[in-house]
Amino acid sequence: MKGLFFPATMQMEFRTIPDPAPAAGEVVVDVKAASLCGSDLHNLHSAHPNESVVMGHEGAGVVSAVGSGVTGVRVGDRVALYHVIGCGRCQNCMSGYMQFCTEDRRARAGAAHGVFADKVLVREANCLPLPQEVSFAVGAFIGCFAGTSYSALKKLQLNGENTVAVFGLGPVGLAGVAYAHALGATVIGIDGIAERLSLGKTMGCDAVVNFRKEDVVERLKQLTDGRGPDRVYESSGSLVAQKQALEAAAVHGQICMVGFNGPMSQKADSAPSLYAAIGKELTLFGSSIMPRQDHFAILDLIRKKHVDLEAMITHRFPFDQIQEAIRLFDTGKTGKIVIDF
């Protein structure tokens, strides 16, 4: 079969590798759709990429083979792929939080082959049931960024009385916009890229703020009668955005931060002070990868509230054009890019 590797910084190449064969407890999935994630770009830009594994971690497909002892999935099942691999034995894994595995935490496209290939070998525990009415693309989303976003938004317990500011309108932020809108909240999106601001409106923003042209804190207060948003979802990873989130939030506001400091971060002296959190008695949440058990709740929300996660897709490419797709995604001027197999 064919798989995509990153042999060196900013280099991509297809390689022919053997078809996987499942051992006990393992499953082979024929990949039907994969999507591009910012983490893929981090690997591409890395000074020391892992050149020995297939890249990509957002995927969904159809089970084509199962190993001995597999009872939860069968050949022909449609599945989304949960990309974190845990030991299954430690306290966190046994509690359903394998993303916090303390014994053998790994990630697809890190320590195991990823989904930018015709087939992928996974553990049975990493197969999430995908109903017929949910597309493979959305399945790929749920297994990573759309699940991460749901887990974060759940902590904020949104309803129609809330106004939520979403910092960063990349895929993680856009999924948050869609969920917040579906839950009835008033949504304000903040970004500096025109294409993303436009997508924010498509996904459910009631207003958007361009941080390159406006004073974000002042504009957020203007849009909330001087109070500031009572809920904030920070997905950009920018130190400046984190500082603005604390400054703009209303008294007794709640802030959930899911963005790690990365390329969007600015000068170190822009790091946020917690004075505002103390003075306004804010509640701060950190949120990471979704727990696997959120999968069914996400499906319920998508179906009951008619959440159209595919609306953030701006480009689709066949697998043999994935290198072109990744170069386009690297410009930062796209929504979600899906690879169809």
Q: How far is CA 203 from CA 85, 131, 276, 312, in A?
A: 31, 23, 30, 7
Strands 186-191 and 283-286: unpaired
Same domain, 246 and 229: yes
Last residue of a domain, one of 267, 286, 305: 286
Same domain (yes/no): 140, 171: no
Considering the domain architecture, whether residues 92 and 6 belong to the same structural domain is answered as: yes
CATH label of the domain that carries residue 134: 3.90.180.10
What letter does residue 184 receive in the DSSP assignment? T
Question: Does residue 16 sit in the same domain as residue 124?
Answer: yes
Q: Both 128 and 197 in a single domain?
A: no
> For the segment 283-339, what is each residue's pLDDT rounded down to a tens digit?
999 998 889 889 999 999 999 999 999 999 999 999 999 999 999 999 988 999 999
Same domain for 140 and 178? no
CATH code (residue 256): 3.40.50.720
What's residue 1's pLDDT? 95
- Integer Cα distance of 96 and 292 in angstroms: 7
304 shares a domain with 282: no
Q: Strand 207-210 relative to strand 26-35: parallel, antiparallel, unpaired? A: unpaired
Same domain, 104 and 212: no
Nearest to 338 by CA among 317, 308, 323: 317
- pLDDT tens-digit readout, 238-287: 888 999 999 999 999 999 999 876 544 455 455 677 888 999 999 999 99
Same domain, 207 and 268: yes
Integer Cα distance of 179 and 302 in angstroms: 8
The last residue of one of the domains, among 262, 286, 310, is: 286
Nearest residue to 52 (alpha-carbon basis) of 13, 93, 97, 95? 13
Q: How far is CA 277 from its chain centroid?
A: 27
112 and 40 in a common domain: yes
Quick one: 20 and 37 in the same domain?
yes
pLDDT of residue 94: 87
H helix intervals, the chain:
38-45, 91-94, 136-142, 145-156, 171-182, 194-203, 216-222, 239-248, 275-279, 295-304, 322-329
The answer to whether 58 and 145 are in contact (CB under 8 A) is yes
pLDDT number for residue 266: 52
Q: Which residues of the chain have pLDDT under 70?
A: 108-111, 261-271
| pTM, entire model | 0.91
> Are 280 and 186 found together in one domain?
yes
Residue-number span of the structural domain to which 278 is assigned? 149-286
Q: How many domains does the chain have?
A: 2
What pLDDT was estimated at residue 47? 86
Q: What is the pLDDT of residue 265?
A: 44
Q: Given this model, what pLDDT does residue 223 score?
A: 98
